[in-house]
């Protein structure tokens, strides 16, 4: 997760040097980034099903090959079609590994304290966002953006491939029970994964489509910022090195609060935690609109945004299980993630179009603030449903 997601989020660092060399416009470059998220979201459904059948090891090993190859090939881009093939397709195939295959693996290994375990696992993207953009910027300054792509591609492939060799689908492969499963059975409490709705049953509920709309909104906002905040900072007179630190702050903060936020979900419930984190996302966007021109104001924005940024993946797993149970959690996560990736694709591309038309990001950031407020409204409407009682969320938290 550190190597893959961290490397993905270096795109904003590469954007400015590539704009300097190619007169393609930000919409064209951002479109390739958006396309990779969109395609990876739908491929994630297939990756999840293959992981259920063959195990996560085989799926992630194959994805690591495509991911590393795509980044190495990016060093050879000279035409727009190459950009969209390498970034939008080949890297997207590699990016299909982290969500359904890996998150469903974590769920299979833990019954007790699952929220905390998911939070620890999902520290990976935050650590990657903190480490990889400054490294990418340093490589670009020393050797140029083409060499930087080669180094990042080779290094990320090596790390992902080696880590995948140790993956096991579930404890049964080692003749063990999931962590906490024996305590659940001992106390006579029905394991959570016995309850819930199938994917087909979830399709017929308003709550499922509210959940999809929620993740569409927050993904649109978050990926727009992760793609365009560095170019925005450079546009307002901040050096590229300092601008890259903004992404590092976002990654550092999101990593630091991941475990406390996972524990908070166990203590006060997933829904309340979701409302708090979504409110922070809306506040960060309003702050960016009002004071997004100076270095220190952007640093403060990165801190507030980082508090909310950690919520994207952790809430995908916890909200899905809180609302629908665990019977079809993998399928539900895969489908909701595909909608999430649509938002991830639309946001950066739309922001690039707006910049090309207006010469600044003000309208793009204003739109993101409005979308964040819509997401906050949706959180107020989310409720557990299905074959569960009124105290399901509280009981679910206790089981964790």
SS3 179: strand
For 8-66, the pLDDT digits (tens) are 888 888 888 888 888 888 778 878 887 887 788 788 878 877 877 787 888 899 999 99
Query: Do 364 and 355 meet the contact criterion of CB atoms below 8 Å apart?
Result: yes
Q: What pLDDT, on a 0 to 100 scale, did the predictor assign at position 126?
A: 72
Using the 8-state DSSP alphabet, how is residue 68 labeled? Answer: H
Instruction: Say how far apart CA 78 and CA 86 lie, in whole Å.
Output: 11
- Is 173 exposed, middle or buried, given 0-12, 13-18 or 19+ CB atoms closer than 10 A? exposed
Instruction: Say how far apart CA 271 and CA 380 lie, in whole Å.
Output: 8
Query: Do 399 and 270 meet the contact criterion of CB atoms below 8 Å apart?
Result: no
- Considering the entire predicted model, what is its pTM? 0.72
Full set of structural domains in the chain with CATH: 2-167+190-399 (1.20.1250.20)
Q: Token pair of 115, please?
A: 């929220």
For 259-283, the pLDDT digits (tens) are 888 778 777 877 888 899 999 999 9
Q: Which of 358, 393, 373, 104 is nearest to 218 (CA)?
A: 373
Instruction: Say how far apart CA 343 and CA 143 lie, in whole Å.
Output: 34
CA 144, chain centre distance (Å)? 28
SS3 400: coil
Q: What pLDDT, on a 0 to 100 scale, did the predictor assign at position 152?
A: 94
Q: What pLDDT, on a 0 to 100 scale, did the predictor assign at position 303?
A: 92
Q: What pLDDT, on a 0 to 100 scale, did the predictor assign at position 385?
A: 64
- Is 221 exposed, middle or buried, given 0-12, 13-18 or 19+ CB atoms closer than 10 A? buried
Q: What pLDDT, on a 0 to 100 scale, did the predictor assign at position 84?
A: 93
Q: What pLDDT, on a 0 to 100 scale, did the predictor assign at position 393?
A: 44
Q: Is 383 left (phi over 0), alpha (psi -120 to 50) or beta?
A: beta
- Is 76 exposed, middle or buried, given 0-12, 13-18 or 19+ CB atoms closer than 10 A? exposed
- Is 163 exposed, middle or buried, given 0-12, 13-18 or 19+ CB atoms closer than 10 A? middle
Query: Do 235 and 294 meet the contact criterion of CB atoms below 8 Å apart?
Result: no
Q: What pLDDT, on a 0 to 100 scale, did the predictor assign at position 395?
A: 38
Query: Do 189 and 179 meet the contact criterion of CB atoms below 8 Å apart?
Result: no
Q: What pLDDT, on a 0 to 100 scale, did the predictor assign at position 392?
A: 40
Q: How high does pLDDT run on average in the chain? A: 82
Helix axes 258-268, 123-143, angle to 10 degrees: 160
Q: Residue ranges of the chain with pLDDT lower than 50?
A: 186-194, 386-400
Q: What pLDDT, on a 0 to 100 scale, did the predictor assign at position 383?
A: 78
């Amino acid at each position: 997760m550190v190597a893959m997601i961290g490397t993905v989020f270096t795109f904003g660092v590469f954007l400015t040097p590539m704009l300097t060399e190619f007169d393609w416009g930000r919409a064209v470059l951002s479109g390739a980034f958006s396309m990779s998220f969109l395609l990876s979201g739908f491929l994630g459904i297939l990756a999840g099903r293959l992981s259920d059948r063959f195990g996560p090891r085989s799926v992630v090993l194959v994805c690591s090959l495509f991911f590393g190859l795509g980044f190495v090939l990016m060093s050879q881009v000279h035409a727009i079609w190459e950009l969209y093939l390498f970034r939008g397709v080949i890297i997207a195939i590699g990016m299909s590994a982290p969500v359904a295959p890996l998150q469903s693996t974590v769920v299979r290994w833990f019954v007790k304290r699952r929220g905390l375990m998911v939070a620890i696992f999902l520290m990976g993207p935050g650590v990657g966002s903190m480490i990889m953009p400054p490294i990418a910027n340093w490589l670009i300054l020393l050797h140029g953006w083409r060499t930087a792509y080669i180094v990042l591609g080779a290094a990320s492939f090596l790390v992902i491939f080696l880590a995948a060799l140790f993956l096991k689908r579930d404890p049964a492969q080692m003749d063990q029970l999931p962590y906490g499963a024996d305590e659940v059975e001992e106390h006579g409490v029905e394991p959570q994964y016995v309850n819930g709705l199938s994917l087909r049953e979830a399709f017929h509920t308003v709550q499922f489509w509210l959940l999809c709309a929620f993740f569409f909104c927050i993904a649109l906002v978050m990926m727009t910022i992760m793609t365009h905040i560095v170019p925005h900072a450079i546009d307002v007179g901040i050096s590229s090195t300092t601008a890259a630190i903004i992404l590092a702050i976002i990654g550092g903060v999101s990593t630091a609060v991941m475990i406390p936020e996972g524990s908070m979900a166990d203590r006060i419930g997933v829904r309340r935690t979701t409302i708090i984190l979504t409110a922070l996302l809306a506040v960060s966007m309003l702050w960016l609109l009002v004071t997004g021109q100076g270095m220190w104001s952007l640093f403060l924005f990165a801190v507030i945004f980082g508090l909310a940024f950690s919520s994207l993946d952790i809430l995908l797993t916890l909200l899905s299980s809180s609302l629908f149970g665990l019977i079809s959690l993998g399928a539900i996560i895969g489908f909701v993630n595909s909608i999430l990736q649509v938002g991830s694709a639309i946001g950066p591309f739309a922001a690039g179009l707006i910049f090309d038309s207006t010469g600044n990001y003000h309208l793009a950031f204003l739109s993101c603030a409005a979308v964040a407020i819509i997401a906050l409204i949706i959180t107020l409407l989310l409720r557990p449903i299905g074959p569960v009682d009124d105290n399901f969320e509280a009981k679910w938290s206790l089981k964790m």
